[in-house]
Amino acid sequence: MNQRDLNNSAQPNQDALGKIYGQHSHWQNVFATNPQMYGTSASQAGFYAISRFTTVGFTKILELGAGQGRDTIAFLRAGFDVTAVDFANEALNEIRNLAGEGLSQHLSTLAQDVRLPLEFADQTFDACYAHMLFTMALTTKELEALASQVYRVLRPGGMCIYTVRHIGDPHFRQGTHLGENLYENGGFIVQFFDNELVNRVGKHFTIEDIHEFEEGQLPRKLWRVTMLKN
């Protein structure tokens, strides 16, 4: 795993921040026009999370950046109570439709921008799961604040599993550089992670594991990070 490229460490300027904050409407449009953009099968990371959460007896799961719900539905079918958070209402509507009457009693949804404090009481959840949310258009400061919120809402002994694209990905340094390791490519803004950023995000946690895997076209190069709340 490579270290941060210091030439890319500058914070985003005002123009870049405008693009970053404009991703909300971009994702709303993406989900509205591509209702099954990522398919309906659970991701590799989702299957891993189900196994880990089941093994330790977790039942109450917070999913951040639930998207179109391919992992959400798998969690529900595995017997978990899931609170799905996304800032795209279209995505949450699709998840509720997919859950139907059979699974909806175990599903809660919340439309929220994760740059804001999470709207849950302390120690509400057993675990947090976020597939590709942390690698979206979030600055380092925003990621650190989000991780602190996740730590707050997890119970002692809780677990957070998240996935991100890393600096070994073919799209790293492609497109428009917006500061830090943020790049815009094809309308999508990605924060590419390195070791330093993983450590900064996990500074309140014990980082148990960083697992490298591939997904989708190119293929995308990802890390699956597992963190524990002491």
What tens-digit pLDDT sequence spans the chain (230 residues)?
A: 444 443 445 777 766 656 666 656 655 666 556 655 555 789 999 999 999 999 999 999 999 999 989 999 999 999 999 999 998 888 899 999 999 999 999 999 999 999 999 999 999 999 999 999 999 999 999 999 999 999 999 999 999 999 999 999 999 999 999 999 999 998 889 999 999 999 999 999 999 999 999 999 889 999 999 999 99
Tokens 């999370």, located at residue: 49
Nearest residue to 191 via CA among 112, 114, 104, 111: 114
3-state secondary structure of 28: helix
* pLDDT, position 91: 86
Q: Please give the backbone phi and psi of residue 138, each rounded to the nearest 5 degrees, phi first.
A: -125, 130
Whole-number Å distance between alpha carbons of 152 and 209: 21
Whole-number Å distance between alpha carbons of 136 and 117: 17
* pLDDT, position 203: 98
* pLDDT, position 31: 55
Whole-number Å distance between alpha carbons of 33 and 8: 33
3-state secondary structure of 198: helix
3-state secondary structure of 71: helix
pTM: 0.86
Whole-number Å distance between alpha carbons of 130 and 62: 9
